[in-house]
Amino acid sequence: EEFAVKEIRVWTNFHKYWLEQQIPILLVRYEDLIREPAKVMSRVVQFVLEINDMGSFFGERIDRCIKEQQEIERLGSYKPRSGGIGKSLAKYSPELIEKMKAEGFEEILEALHYGDLLNKPVEEWSKLPFLPEHAMEFESSQDFIVVNQGNLSRTEKESTKWGMVKKELGIIGEQCNCAQCKAKCAGKDDKGESNKECGEEDSNE
């Protein structure tokens, strides 16, 4: 539960930050993308290229890319990570969901037009109404934004030492194959300084 709440806090802060910026933003939701990929990608192309009429030029290329991807997956040469609407949250207990709500999760869901999704059975999530025109654009009042300043979404408090977690779960041995462990075997890190425990600096894997 600790990891889930921590990641929800990061996710919430990240989206809250961008929703507060006065720059052009196009909201694209995963649930819309996997149900209607061609329509969603058409909106993305329109937004990025600032065009109103897609015509056949872009539409044909979007359709071709989608069909080629489906063919690659069918042949088995590439298998993306299995996904699905609500598959992850379906594993969370009601108590954990309540803790997530306390982190401001519901407020952001509302802003992203998910409504009261958390209060519905997971089986109904695939019936989530599409965004208008399959994406939603937020207007801008300025032409630029300064990034990498101010508070971070993931502070030290929200960092997870995944190397340590993997060792505790038995996924990797005491010495994994990360650069830090390799340096540890050599007796020093890449800066020539004394080594910390494996996994202490890999929170952003």
pTM, two decimals, is: 0.61
CB 180 within 8 A of CB 189: yes
pLDDT surpassing 90 at residue 194: no
CB distance 148 to 141 below 8 Å: no
Provide DSSP, 97-149.
Answer: HHHHHTTTHHHHHHHTT-TTGGGS-GGGGGGPPPPGGGSEEEP-SSS----S-
CB 15 within 8 A of CB 108: yes
For residue 153, the 8-state DSSP code is S
Q: Is 71 helix (H, G, I), strand (E, B) or coil?
A: helix
Average pLDDT score over residue span 45-54: 84
Q: DSSP character for 89?
A: G
Arithmetic mean of pLDDT, 14-22:
86
Per-residue pLDDT band at 39 (split at 50, 70, 90): very high
The string of pLDDT tens digits covering residues 139-187 is: 765 555 555 556 665 666 666 676 776 677 666 666 666 666 666 666 6
Question: Quick one: pLDDT at residue 152?
Answer: 60
Instruction: Check if the beta carbon of residue 104 is closer than 8 Å to that of residue 118.
Output: no
Whole-number Å distance between alpha carbons of 123 and 90: 9
pLDDT score, position 204: 45
Q: What is the mean pLDDT of the chain?
A: 75
Neighbours of 21 (CB within 10 A): 15
State the DSSP H helix or E strand holding residue 79, giving kind and residue range, or none if neither: none
Question: pLDDT: is 31 or 152 the higher one?
Answer: 31
How far apart are alpha carbons 30 and 84 in whole angstroms? 9
Instruction: Provide, rounded to the nearest whole percent, the portion of the chain with pLDDT above 90.
Output: 8
Question: What is the rounded CA–CA span in Å between residue 167 and residue 196?
Answer: 15
